[in-house]
Structure 1
Amino acid sequence: MSHYNSFLRIPGLALRQKLRPLPRIGVLDADVLRLRVWPQDVDFNFHLNNARYLSFMDYGRTRLMAATGLLLPAIREHWTPLVGSISITYRRSLGFWAPFTLSTRILCWDDKWIYMEQVFNGRDGLAAIAWVKGLFRDEQGNVPPQRAIDRIAPGTLSPPMWEPLTQWNEVTKEKLASGK
């Protein structure tokens, strides 16, 4: 069951986009999924397992691509979506059978990365929040984010980069450069 998103849900979403596309949203709008914690999603404490958060996030980002209209061009152009980094903070548990929402939105982009925010909310409020930086890659290398955005919203420029995202990048670069 752990591969449900990878082998059923995501390919099913791509097929659906061909037959009956999701309603379109703007490139900077949030896509909200309504989900539930199922038996295969829980750990020994009977709450949503930390790995399943990441799996739901994968699906949320793919669905955002579909809702913004980016999924089909990415498939046609053979762009591979890749995650470079994720920072997630857990606030509250999502227990067995609990309903929750996952909101995914693009915050901004630079010359290499697209920055996204993904928020899990349960009945008691914020359960987890994550920041993700990702990119597309094709046979020639990284696809400039502006090129991808122009496929769905020509001329749309990135909102200003949040200072914490800039700091996150700097800390990551320093750590990678040190090799430790």
Structure 2
Amino acid sequence: MARQLQLIRAIARPRPKIPGQGILDPSVTTLRVRPADLDIYLHVNNGAYLPMMDVARTHYIGDLGGFPALRERRWYPVVAAQTVTYRRSLTLGQRFEITTRVVGWDERVVYLEQVFTRGDDLCARGLVAGRFLTRGTGERVPAPQVAELLDPGSTSPEIPADVAGWAQAIDVAHRV
């Protein structure tokens, strides 16, 4: 519940735009492990990572200054798919960072990587396939339109092979 409240706050009062921030630039969110994040083994529960990733993606949009333009068009992000690979445990009170970056997009989906680190230690890596929908109609917004809105003139880099393979395997990638 605490992370849900943190997400609501991040949406209601987004971080200010970072001048010069582009869609391909990383966004860093610093968090601390809270008691509600823990499982019976006293490390962050696998299910707690997803709300943390939600908060970090919301900060990413804030860093781009994207909320006013998205609201104007009634577009909102949804997760189509995600996966997380865990490397090291996070425990109570530890500070950590989530670095969020867009790694590319196709006609349907924006692909993000979200990396959890504690100092120099890689703790987890998430891949997210995100879409944007139109409030009220549920109409899908093509990913290139979203990219153009958030960072005019931007072009997608080639999607990394591991991300493209994952997207194909779970059937979220654009179908030619």
Same fold (TM over 0.5): yes
Equivalence for 2:161: 163
**Number of aligned pairs?**
169
Counterpart Cα distance in 1 of 2:119 and 2:159: 31
SS at match of 1:173: coil
Equivalence for 1:40: 36
Q: 1:140 to 1:52 in 2, by over 3 A?
A: closer
SS at match of 2:91: coil
Identity rate of aligned residues, in percent? 33
1:148 shift after superposition: 1.0
Query: Which residue, 14, 17, 35 being the options, matches 2:11?
Result: 14
SS at match of 2:16: coil
Equivalence for 2:127: 131
> Residue type matched to 2:13 in 1?
R
Deviations 1:21-69 (A, max 9, x none): 2424211111111111111111111111111111100111111011112
Deviations 1:89-109 (A, max 9, x none): 000000111111111111100
For the pair shown, the structure with the greater C-alpha radius of gyration is 1
Q: What is the TM-score of this pair, normalised by structure 2? A: 0.88
SS at match of 2:47: helix
Equivalence for 2:64: 68
Q: 1:90 to 1:152 in 2, by over 3 A?
A: same
Q: 1:95 to 1:167 in 2, by over 3 A?
A: same
> Residue type matched to 2:16 in 1?
P
Contact 2:109 2:129 (8 Å CA) reproduced? yes
CA RMSD after TM alignment: 1.9
More helix per residue:
1
1:170 shift after superposition: 2.2
In structure 1, runs of 5+ residues without a counterpart are 175-180
Contact 1:108 1:116 (8 Å CA) reproduced? yes
Counterpart Cα distance in 1 of 2:129 and 2:138: 20
Counterpart Cα distance in 2 of 1:98 and 1:14: 24
Equivalence for 1:177: none
In structure 2, runs of 5+ residues without a counterpart are none
